Amino acid sequence: MVQQKKIFSKRKIVGFFILLIVISLTLYQLADRYLFEHVEIDNAFVNTKDTEQSAEPTTSDKNEEKFTTDDWQYNSDSKSIKITKVETGSSNPIVYFVADVKIKDANSLKSAFAKNQFGNNIIEYTSTIASGNKALFAINGDYYGFRDDGITIRNGQIFRNNPARTGLALLKDGTLKTYEETETNAEDLLANGVTQTYSFGPVLVQNSSAKTDFGHLSIDTNFGNRAIDNANPRTGIGMISPNHYVFVVVDGRSREYSEGMTLSEFAKVFEDLGCTDAYNLDGGGSSTMYFMGRVVNNPLGRNEERGVSDIIYIN
Nearest-angstrom CA–CA distance, 21 and 9:
18
H helix runs in the chain, sequence order? 2-34, 126-132, 186-191, 263-272
- Please give the pLDDT value at position 26: 54
Of 163, 265, 154, the residue nearest 211 (C-alpha): 265
pLDDT, tens digit, 9 for 90 and up, residues 220-241: 555 444 556 789 999 999 999 9
d(CA 153, CA 171): 11
DSSP helix/strand/coil, 221? coil
Instruction: Convert the pLDDT of each residue in 54-89 to its tens digit.
Output: 444 544 454 578 999 999 999 999 999 999 999 998
Written as one letter, the residue type at 88 is T
Q: Which amino acid is at 254?
A: S
pLDDT at 7: 63
Angstrom distance (rounded) from CA 112 to CA 110: 7
Enter the DSSP assignment of 158.
E
How much is the pLDDT for 91?
A: 85
Give the pLDDT confidence score for residue 65 in this predicted structure: 87
pLDDT at 215: 67
Degrees, nearest 5: CA angle 308-313-315: 140
pLDDT score at 291: 98
Which residues in the chain land under pLDDT 70? Answer: 1-12, 14-17, 19-36, 47-63, 215-228
Q: pTM of the full predicted structure?
A: 0.85
The candidate with the shortest Cα–Cα distance to 159, out of 315, 310, 313, is 310
Q: Alpha-carbon distance 98 to 79, whole Å?
A: 16
Amino acid at 132: G
CA distances from 108 to 96, 254, 263, 274 (A): 24, 34, 29, 22
